[in-house]
């Protein structure tokens, strides 16, 4: 795997790890809680990101990243079937699609053209776009967890501890 692909794998792994660690602090009630009517719950963010990741990263080089089977609008609706366990299973499948794709890509694939909603991107551009999207939603999860569980563990360097932070950033988590 190329250094660039290693870097993407590392960053996607960091995002998933941060979200998983944050969500571990939530009760089931907090997982589904909406702080206001027009604010997504952690459950909705999980459902949406899982759907996005599975669609974008399945058959990445050969099919449009917005699969016909994807129902994006439904990703923002919690139904009785959307238990925490079911949503977390979808979450795992979505992330597995990312990592399986990264494992199969080569540096030669980075300039290939892929489409997302019919719009052409280089594979590299799609990786950047996907990374930014995942980071955005992981940030939402982290913020909601901090809101609901203000004493939860810090996911990054806690305030006042910058000088003592882990110097081996690139070390696997």
**Domain contains 34:** yes
Which tokens go with 153? Answer: 């563990």
* CA distances, 19 to each of 15, 44, 80, 92, 154 (Å): 6, 14, 23, 12, 12
Q: How many CB atoms lie within 10 A of CB 11?
A: 14
Domain count, the chain: 1
**Domain contains 161:** no
pTM above 0.75, yes or no: yes
pLDDT of 165 > 60? The answer is yes
**Confidence band of 156 (pLDDT split at 50, 70, 90):** confident
Q: Which residues span the domain enclosing 27?
A: 3-156
Query: Above pLDDT 90, what percent of the chain?
Result: 87
């Amino acid at each position: 795997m190329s250094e660039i692909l290693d870097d993407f794998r590392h960053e996607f792994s960091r995002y998933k790890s941060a979200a998983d660690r944050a969500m571990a602090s939530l009760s089931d009630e907090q997982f589904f809680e909406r702080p206001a009517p027009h604010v997504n719950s952690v459950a909705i963010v999980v459902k949406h990101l899982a759907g996005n990741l599975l669609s974008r990263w399945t058959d990445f080089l050969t099919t449009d990243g917005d699969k016909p089977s994807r129902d994006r609008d439904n990703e923002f609706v919690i139904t009785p079937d959307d238990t925490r366990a079911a949503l977390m299973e979808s979450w795992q499948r979505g992330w597995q699609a990312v990592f399986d794709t990264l494992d199969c890509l080569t540096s030669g694939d980075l300039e290939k053209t892929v489409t997302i909603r019919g719009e052409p991107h280089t594979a590299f551009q799609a990786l950047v776009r996907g990374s930014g999207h995942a980071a955005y939603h992981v940030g939402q999860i982290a913020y909601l967890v901090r809101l609901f569980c203000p004493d939860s563990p810090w996911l990054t360097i806690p305030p006042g501890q910058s000088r003592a932070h882990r110097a081996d950033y690139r070390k696997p988590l």
